Amino acid sequence: MITQDQLRTVIGSTAYDRDGDKLGKVGQVYYDDDTDQPKWLTVNTGFFGTSENFVPVQGAELGEDRVIVAYDKATVKDAPNISDDGHLTPEEEQRLYRHYSLDYGHGTGTTGTGAGDVGEGRDGDRTRGAVGHDTSGPTTDEAMTRSEEQLRVGTETRETGRARLRKHVVTEHQQVQVPVSREEIRVEREPITDANVGNATDGPVISEEEHEVTLHAERPVVETEAVPVERVRLGTETVRETETVGGEVRKEEIDVDDQATRDRS
């Protein structure tokens, strides 16, 4: 059982279930209104610690930096949803007793304390050193706690679209310059010499004669060949950028209503 003297190390420490799974931070300790003994812990669970569940102090063990409760994580998270308003009514406490299979008895309710209430006892004992008294409930200490909401921002990954590679055939016209060659007639004349006089006088002296030469020319020939030119694949890369998000938050403000000053003015 966690005692009053151990309370300072309990509030704000991390709670774990009996199997060693992390539950969350301990927010408050609730005391029995009759015996002033600690009976319940509130543990901040859920996303960003937005849920607060009541867990029995009974069977809990205190380590160096943790509180180990006597129940598993599923049982704690399924506990009745009860508002953490500083006090449990007998009806609310009975619902918790049933959930954790504990013997309720008659019960008169419990009162919760946070870190600022440690070591003061309950009700009358907590008023020692306090200036004035609370008009909205039992006097706790000499100060009023001001709270405010804060934005807790995270990120989530979701699908924004898909991309795919598709190959199709297009036809385009290309022009290529190709060098070609052709033969042309060139008339060559040579004088009669001793070397060629024999060939020159071979045949009739005066006659008609024809001589034929075959001409050749190159022409372009076009054909196609499919060859691989590159490999294409899809990949992804992460681009970092900053977006501005906003939300409505509430905060408490404390005003001073000084009756004595108003009476003097």
Print the domain residue range for 55.
Answer: 4-116
Q: Residue 29 falls within a domain, yes or no?
A: yes
**121-151 confidence digits (pLDDT tens):** 444 344 444 555 565 555 566 778 889 999 8
User: How many Cβ atoms from other residues are within 10 Å of residue 60's Cβ?
Assistant: 20
Going by C-alpha positions, the residue among 226, 119, 128 that lies closest to residue 169 is 226
**Which residues, 6+ apart, have CB-to-CB distance to 18 below 8 Å?**
68, 69, 70, 71, 72
- The CATH code of the domain that includes 26 is 3.90.50.10
Supply the Cα-derived Rg of the chain in whole angstroms: 50
Query: At 96, is the pLDDT very low, low, confident or very high (cuts 50, 70, 90)?
Result: very high
Q: Residue 34 falls within a domain, yes or no?
A: yes
List C-alpha distances in Å: 20 to 30, 60, 70, 83. Answer: 23, 13, 10, 27
Name the range with the highest mean pLDDT among 55-69, 99-113, 141-155, 178-192: 178-192
Q: Residue 19 falls within a domain, yes or no?
A: yes
Q: Residue 258 falls within a domain, yes or no?
A: no
For residue 217, the Cα-to-chain-centroid distance in whole angstroms is: 75
Question: Is the per-residue pLDDT at 218 higher than 80?
Answer: yes
Q: What percent of the chain has pLDDT over 70?
A: 79
pLDDT at 120: 40
**Which residues, 6+ apart, have CB-to-CB distance to 73 below 8 Å?**
17, 19, 21, 23
**179-202 confidence digits (pLDDT tens):** 999 999 999 999 999 998 888 888
Q: Residue 264 falls within a domain, yes or no?
A: no
Number of domains in the chain: 1
